[in-house]
Amino acid sequence: MTQAPIELEVKLPSAPSPSQPLWLLAVVVWQTVLALAMVAAAVAMVTGALFDLTGLGLVLMAGLALAIAVASGTAVPLMLRHRHSGRAIGVMLDYLVLVLAVFITLQAIGVFRGLDALGATFRRAVPLLAIVILGWLLLGQAERFGSRAERVRRAGKWVMIAGAAAVAVRAGVLPGLAEFFVRLAKPRALLPALVAVASGLAFWSLRRSRAVWLFGSRRHQEEALDGFLFVSPNLLGFAAFFAFPLLFSLFVAFTAWDGLTQITWLGPDNFTKIFSLQFATVDAGQSASDVLKFGYSELARFGSLIVGARDPAFWIALRNISLFAITAVPLAVIPAIGLAALLNTKIPGVRLFRAIYFIPSVAGVLGVALIWKQLYNASVGFINYGLRRLFDLINLLPGVEATAPQPQWLSSRSVALWSIVIFFAWYTVGFNTVLFLAGMQGIPGTLYEAAEIDGASPWQKFRKITVPMLRPTTFFVVATTTILALQVFTEPFILMGPQLPPSGPSNATLTPVVHLYQEGFRRFNQGYASALAWVLFLLIFAITLVYFRRQRKSEAGMG
């Protein structure tokens, strides 16, 4: 018995259909108009015919317009051939244009300023929200009324509607809506509004099931497109509030700009200014004080001495932050390990102690810094008061007459930085304790049981089991604490002000972040401040990279 030959149906790519759906033709026309409009807008920006843009603003806006034009021009032929890639480009492009057009429309209307005014008047309508809440309660409890449930549900809906209307009238929403439509009719707001409507309709058309069938989109392609749309708010927020400012600050770092006037390109001069040093050779028998003009002794290698810099404040800040990190990080990490070990035992009230040690991390640094500022007060602060009372007790001993030290915690050049160190360590140690405690609780108890059988003492168990098993946690704690220490700003800013600048007495508490703040927001050297920020970023990145490499070597050695 012979079988009939099996015919395989091969679907070849078809030419564009002469009878395209009307909705697709409308989308294609819109994409074509959008591409031509963006090209015209870019030309107008460059020639200055319609837009008065210069410098970076011109580059960004013209580049954005050309990018939209290229994307639209690419999507049109692909859509006519019913390719999924054309539909995907169209969906994403129409979505982005819709968001931009809506934002421009709202900005032209002045909605954001109107929201401030609405917030000021909304307080008058707050009592009327009780009516809305009453309707919501009736709607939620309607099932309890049995046969009258439908009437109660209907009554709840009408009560909520009436309450919402009363709130709108009392808060002045209705006049605001009227003013909204009046401003929307003006050309500067109407044009982007029409663009938003057209983009929205095109986006809706390409997202319908009819478009999915026409373009032959597969399930995984639809899922990928849906995934991009779901994460788009986060991506747009990241691009607008992180990526763009980051790249813009990198550009500004090579310019001279005060934040108000025209940007002037300088090239690497800002970075050259940061690292420029002057050296002098130290003769035999010559003291450092004879040649040093920098403000503190800093003997360089190869018998040379730093005698000057284009920006001495940067090197002072670098010295201060180095001393700060070297002292503050151990004070914030080592006690945390000991506290975590104590809290990991079954002592009475251990949960209460855990909460107490974690309270500083929960409290806002601003409020805590204000409290410490009062504690550090040399005249009426509790720290100096406690020192006086302590030495009063010591002086009760026969033959002892000691004078209580009264440090000028915040106004003395030799003490101010260590005051910041103490506060930082106290504020950070609680959070580090919780991290170490979590790491200790993850160590298998069988290891300690085996050590007890072998006769290990508590100290041996801590040194031979706890510390090695905490290496990943210790790496994380040390790295994050170091990063926080290198970025310290709020502590000196609050503790020193308003009597002293954040840099403290004689720049004793000047840190890189404080320095870039003073350059950018007091002297309005935004370009130089951006360069300082990038130098600090590279410094932190290098230190973090060293930590990661040491951690990998440590893990490889254990393996």
Q: pLDDT class for 200, splitting at 50, 70, 90?
A: very high
Angle at 165 between CA 164 and CA 171, to 5 degrees: 85
What's residue 10's pLDDT?
38
Q: Which residue has the tokens 């809290």?
A: 343
What's residue 307's pLDDT?
52
Q: pLDDT class for 139, splitting at 50, 70, 90?
A: confident
Q: Domains along the chain?
A: 22-217 (no CATH), 278-308 (no CATH), 312-364+416-558 (1.10.3720.10)
Say if residues 309 and 272 touch (Cβ distance below 8 Å). Answer: no
Q: pLDDT class for 296, splitting at 50, 70, 90?
A: very low
CA dist., res. 269 & res. 477, Å (int): 37
CA dist., res. 43 & res. 62, Å (int): 8
Q: What share of the chain in percent tops pLDDT 70?
A: 87
Q: pLDDT class for 290, splitting at 50, 70, 90?
A: very low
Describe the crossing of helices 312-343 and 350-362 by its angle, rounded to 10 degrees.
160
Say if residues 374 and 409 touch (Cβ distance below 8 Å). Answer: no
More confident residue, 299 or 136: 136
Q: pLDDT class for 205, splitting at 50, 70, 90?
A: very high
pLDDT tens for each residue of 406-427: 888 888 888 999 999 999 999 9
What's residue 323's pLDDT?
93
Q: What average pLDDT does this structure show over 355-367?
A: 81
Q: pLDDT class for 115, splitting at 50, 70, 90?
A: low
Asked if pLDDT for residue 528 goes beyond 70, the answer is yes
- Residue 144 is classified by DSSP as G
CA dist., res. 309 & res. 298, Å (int): 12
Say if residues 285 and 317 touch (Cβ distance below 8 Å). Answer: no
Bond before 187 cis per omega within 30 degrees: no
Structure tokens, 492 = 């000196």
pLDDT tens for each residue of 16-27: 444 688 999 999
pLDDT tens for each residue of 57-92: 778 888 888 999 999 999 999 999 999 999 999 999
Mean of the per-residue pLDDT values for the chain? 83
What's residue 500's pLDDT?
83
Q: What average pLDDT does this structure show over 150-168?
A: 87
CA dist., res. 79 & res. 89, Å (int): 9
What's residue 163's pLDDT?
86
Q: What average pLDDT does this structure show over 144-160?
A: 86
Q: pLDDT class for 404, splitting at 50, 70, 90?
A: confident
Q: Select from 522, 492, 503, 526 the least CA-distant residue to 316.
A: 503
* β-pair partners for 281: 304
The four Cα atoms 218, 224, 227, 231 give a dihedral, to 10 degrees, of -150
Structure tokens, 19 = 């009878």
Say if residues 130 and 167 touch (Cβ distance below 8 Å). Answer: no
User: DSSP secondary structure string, 198-249?
Assistant: HHHHHHHHHHSHHHHHHHT--HHHHHHHHHHHHHHHHHHHHIIIIIHHHHHH
Q: Select from 366, 540, 335 the least CA-distant residue to 428.
A: 335
More confident residue, 44 or 6: 44
What's residue 530's pLDDT?
93
Q: Which range is most confident: 198-202, 264-268, 354-358, 359-363?
A: 198-202
What's residue 535's pLDDT?
93
Q: What average pLDDT does this structure show over 459-467?
A: 87
Asked if pLDDT for residue 179 goes beyond 80, the answer is no
Say if residues 514 and 502 touch (Cβ distance below 8 Å). Answer: yes
